[in-house]
């Protein structure tokens, strides 16, 4: 059957390699479109493209909006999203805003509304500031989900969550406890102060720390914000070292932040250790149990799979398999069956899986994967 395509297709190739540097928000294959985003469009690839087991029929035009250009995690998420949409015979539009701000994302959303896309899957830079733009999109019949970092419930139909908030908070807090030896000062190096996922994980860590006396010897001295920019994350790490000479551990629940902090700590031969959420390919040289390595271990999930699940979810919303209501179920191709559940913010979500630990014993086998 013929798939119906929009007449306007943006054709810049997406660069999704993790080897590219992340500075300045201008790499990653960005162009200078009027909506401040780079884009990728695929063409209809045939009638049987959805034979991989998903219930969605493909076709149509599906957009993914990342946090910003030059973010390696987001680039891999977009890669997974594009893979699934194109295999299903649809058109994938990938947008990388030039900066990790709500304003940059609003501009991209408005452009996508004018193009008449069928769905938008977005990693929100601000939980609330995108509401007007995303409500306008939904009023225009565009299906909206978010992944990685959620919007508020009024701005989405469902959230594709990479892992449970409490699971992440527990894993990171236990890592800080272990690496610090159970006592001493520690700090958080986050992304932006408005990032819903970062804030939720940090709050979960604080709740874990307050819930059990075994964490009573730990002192959280500061939550610093590197805004998911390599240079600012580097500067914030150096500031933490200068301000807190007794600091033992930095926890960076952001792939940009942990990579920048790891380099600072290792280059300066600092005794401060690092944990958090990082990409194996970027962090392999910093992972180790000895004094020559700044990060004993860290966690993450597969960003490609997160993007793939975002794509399957987008298609399921468009074809009516799900509405985003609690209890909805669908098959995400070879990823298996998923169910929409209640989220703690009053909206709904689905969860990709538990965080995975990367350490010296397995980092070599994963560094070439993503």
Judge whether 172 and 107 are in contact, CB under 8 Å. Answer: no
Task: Report yes or no: 265 and 243 within 8 Å, Cβ to Cβ.
Answer: no
Mean pLDDT of all residues in 133-139: 98
Query: In this model, does residue 216 exceed pLDDT 70?
Result: yes
Place of tokens 């959280």: 220
State the sign of the Cα–Cα–Cα–Cα dihedral 166, 168, 170, 172. negative
pLDDT range class, residue 238, cuts 50, 70, 90: very high
Residue 5 has what pLDDT? 31
- Which pTM value belongs to this model? 0.77
- pLDDT tens for 74-85 read 999 999 999 999
Q: Which helix (H) or strand (E) holds 326?
A: none
How confident is the model at residue 369, as a pLDDT? 87
State the Cα–Cα distance between residues 108 and 159, nearest whole angstrom: 19
Tell me how far apart the alpha carbons of residues 146 and 148 are, in angstroms, rounded to a whole number: 7
209 touches 244 (CB < 8 A): no
> What pLDDT is recorded for position 334?
96
Euclidean distance between CA atoms 279 and 303, whole angstroms? 9
For the chain, the average pLDDT equals 87
pLDDT in tens, 312-364: 999 999 999 999 999 999 999 999 999 999 999 999 999 998 899 999 999 99
In the three-class reduction of DSSP (H, G, I as helix; E, B as strand; rest coil), residue 51 is classed as coil
- What DSSP string runs through 224-266? EE-TT-HHHHHHHHHHHHHH-TTEEEEEE-SHHHHHHHHHHHH
45 pLDDT higher than 50: no
């Amino acid at each position: 059957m013929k798939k119906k395509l929009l007449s306007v297709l943006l054709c810049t190739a997406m660069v999704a390699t993790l080897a590219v540097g992340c500075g300045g928000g201008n790499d990653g294959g960005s162009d200078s479109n009027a909506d401040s985003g780079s884009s990728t469009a695929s063409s209809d690839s045939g009638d049987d493209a959805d034979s991989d087991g998903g219930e969605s029929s493909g076709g149509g035009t599906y957009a993914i909006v990342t946090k910003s250009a030059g973010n390696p995690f987001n680039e891999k998420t977009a890669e997974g999203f594009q893979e699934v949409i194109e295999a299903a015979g649809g058109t994938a539009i990938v947008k990388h805003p030039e900066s990790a701000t709500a304003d940059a994302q609003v501009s991209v959303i408005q452009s996508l509304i004018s193009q008449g896309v069928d769905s938008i899957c977005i990693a929100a830079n601000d939980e609330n500031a995108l509401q007007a733009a995303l409500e306008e999109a939904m009023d225009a019949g565009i299906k909206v989900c978010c992944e990685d970092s959620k919007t508020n419930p009024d701005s989405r139909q469902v959230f594709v969550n990479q892992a449970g908030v409490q699971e992440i908070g527990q894993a990171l807090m236990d890592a800080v406890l272990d690496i610090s030896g159970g006592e001493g000062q520690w700090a958080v190096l986050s992304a932006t102060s408005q990032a819903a996922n970062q804030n939720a994980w940090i709050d979960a860590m604080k709740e874990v720390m307050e819930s059990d006396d075994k964490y009573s010897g730990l002192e959280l001295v500061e939550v610093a914000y590197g805004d998911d920019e390599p240079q600012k994350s580097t500067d914030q790490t150096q500031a933490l070292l200068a301000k807190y000479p007794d600091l033992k551990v930095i926890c960076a629940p952001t792939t940009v932040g942990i990579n920048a902090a790891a380099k600072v700590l290792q280059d300066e031969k600092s005794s401060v250790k690092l944990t958090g959420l990082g990409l194996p390919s970027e962090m392999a040289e910093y992972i180790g149990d000895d004094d020559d390595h700044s990060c004993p271990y860290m966690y993450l999930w597969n960003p490609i799979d997160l993007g793939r699940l975002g794509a399957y979810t987008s298609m399921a919303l468009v074809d009516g398999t799900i509405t985003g209501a609690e209890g909805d179920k669908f098959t995400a191709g070879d990823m298996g069956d998923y169910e929409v559940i209640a989220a703690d913010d009053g909206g709904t979500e689905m969860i990709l899986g538990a965080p995975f630990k990367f350490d010296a014993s397995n980092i070599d086998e994963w560094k070439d994967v993503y």
